[in-house]
Amino acid sequence: MSPESPAGALTGIRVVEMGQLIAGPFCGQLLGDLGADVVKVESPGVGDPMRLWGQANADGASLTWPVIARNKRSITLNLRGEAGQEVARRLLDQADILIENFRPGTLERWNLSPERLWETNPGLIIVRVTGFGQTGPYAPRAGYGSIGEAMGGLRYLTGEPDRPPSRAGISIGDSLAGTYAALGALAALNSRRTTGRGQIVDSAIYEAVLAMMEASLTEWDAIRYQRERTGAILPKIAPSNVYPTADGSSILIAANQDTVFRRLADVMGRPELATDERYATHHARGERQQELDGLIAGWSAEYDATELLELLHGGGVPAGRVYRAEDMFADEHFVARNAIVRARNSQGHEFAMQNVAPRLSDTPGGVRWSGPELGEHTDEVLTDLGYDAAAIGRLRNDSII
């Protein structure tokens, strides 16, 4: 994609991102993908630690940064002094949304409290992403995504039953908090159309994780049922598992709905399974989950993966390979839907990354450029705020920018 990509639904919305690492910046990434103008504020000479985290290319550059900071403009600004805070207030006077993921009270110490910002920009929406939220006894605690995943209940249910809790291979807690933060920002934008006023969006990592925990709280409260780690399956949901093939691959088959199980039984050449009282209903299959998985595994192991998938898809049974990154690049469906795109930065370096989700038919947005250099847009943004070259020079000489 390029700066000439199709307009996004949030074109014209101005966002100032003061967060770092993942939770806050992922919110900024989502808004930027959909067309918002996201100005990322970073500390002079240091910048967001994500510039250095993760795998690096041959030049030593982070391969995480181009994705999390895509579509953003970077300025450097020292927010710990009055001069930098004054610049920030001028910037925020023209903004629709502020994203920050510092500990509660940090903005207030920097003379950037919501109340002060609303004095000159009452419509500003302030998105605050933290580990535990802005209130409550845990609010002052430092909170990483991993802690939110643990306290929100996800870690306890992740992994094999005979091993300690595991984790997903991504920072899912941070990303969930950023996603809910973006949802809250959009809801607040809509509310502002009626009230004319902004509000605070309080996105806590542990609550974002908790929101994904389905009926686990209800089950415990009602019948004292505690979900446990179950590895590759969900208890009583059958068949839905990873099954072996003759060529050593693994295919995920999900046929737990009654109508879909009938189709699977037909594909297996065992239509009688769908009327057998042991397997005919969702409840019955759940009670005989292990037994049923054994039957399907014995059948699937007779076929190579490609042949098995052709049979399943031809019969209308949901199934798929367990993909790695290299498999995604080779898949014709990913190619046809442009699910993976390439974006360049100002240095001309190109990076592959996932495309924008979800897809809007008329205003899809896009990946216009990858993560910027530190302070790349400082002069541009400050000029737009009315600072002339001499004033910008003074700020730079004073190490404000």
Catalytic residues: 174
Give a three-class secondary structure readout of 40-70.
EEECCCCCCHHHCCCCECCCCCECCHHHHCC
Q: Tokens standing for 232? A: 């590759």
Q: Tell me how far apart the alpha carbons of residues 167 and 90 are, in angstroms, rounded to a whole number.
A: 42
Closest C-alpha among 212, 213, 189, 210 to residue 199:
189
| Cα–Cα distance list, 363 to 74, 183, 339 (Å) | 25, 18, 17
The contacts of residue 302 (CB under 8 Å, 6+ apart) are 246
Answer for the pair 349, 61: CB distance below 8 angstroms, yes or no: yes
* Helical axes 305-314 vs 258-267, angle rounded to 10°: 130
Q: Which residue has the tokens 């809910």?
A: 180
The contacts of residue 211 (CB under 8 Å, 6+ apart) are 176, 180
Residue 41, strand partner residues: 75
Strand order in the sheet with 319-321: 240-244, 250-254, 319-321
Q: Which residue has the tokens 């109508």?
A: 259
